[in-house]
Amino acid sequence: MPELPEVECWGRRVAEAHCAGRTITKVHAPADTILFEGTTARKFAAALKGKTIEACHRKGKQMWWTLSREGNEAGPHPLWHFGMTGRFEAYRETKDRPRFLKVELLLDDGTRFGFRDARRFGRIRLLDDPLSQPPLCNLGPDPLLEPPTLNWFREQLGKRKAPVKAVLLDQGFLAGVGNWIADEVLYQAHIDPHRRCTELSDDEIKTIRTVTLRVIRQACKWEADYTRFSTKWLFHHRWGKNEAAKTYDGKEIDFSVVGGRTTAWVPAVQV
């Protein structure tokens, strides 16, 4: 599932590059009762057609656009969630439409901007005031846009009784941290994902914060291009629940379930 770096790099930045300042002249949005949540394809198309995309925003794994409005008119504005396979595509010709296209916007410069989603776990909503409405209002701070202070991190993490991996996955704690980021952070921090947060020392909490911010910043710096990730990262070796999986330096990778998610960790390193 796309996590903060993927949504930032494959979503917000792509939308900003192609859509910001452009006016939507036509909307292609076939009816889909799964993709559109709390609205319909017809209402979505009517809300976007003729509007200018003024800005493209993101918090955690959620992304929304600010659309132009007339006078004191309130929203709505589109909120996008990529789910597992959602992604934006920009192209010029209908023959270049991607497979599994769910929405296509024709912009005033001739660009076609599409949202594709093979597995249909993505969601599109229309919200009048996205930041003050669910799901955005229920999210914790975004580690890239609003990195929490050390004092905040110690206070919030230190009082949790759940396993540290489960807390890192809680979007109400930090917005945008998903499974691979949580595993990577705890591997680089040398922390066992099963440990309760109340068992962590101040130094360990400080390390988790430092590594979390570093991993996310690095992944975004590398445009979420996995081939650019350091070969020492757990990321390259954690997939597939392979019983023979090892780190770059030959240490065995174990797999267990923490917080309801498959967790890759290295017992020889994480204590």
Which residues are part of the catalytic machinery? 2-3, 61
Measured in residues, the chain has a length of 271
Q: Across the strands, what pairs with 226? A: none
Q: Across the strands, what pairs with 57? A: 64
How many other CB atoms are found less than 10 A from the CB of residue 258? 23
Question: Degrees (nearest 5) of the Cα angle 39, 44, 45?
Answer: 150
Residues 121/83, Cβ–Cβ less than 8 Å: yes
C-alpha span between 37 and 229 (Å, rounded): 35
Check whether the bond before 135 is cis (ω within 30° of 0). yes
C-alpha span between 80 and 63 (Å, rounded): 5
C-alpha span between 186 and 140 (Å, rounded): 19
Label residue 267 left, alpha or beta by phi (over 0 means left) and psi (-120 to 50 means alpha).
alpha
Reported as half-sphere exposure (CB side, CA atoms, 13 A), residue 124 has a value of 32
Counting Cβ atoms within 10 Å, is residue 230 exposed (0-12), middle (13-18) or buried (19+)?
A: exposed
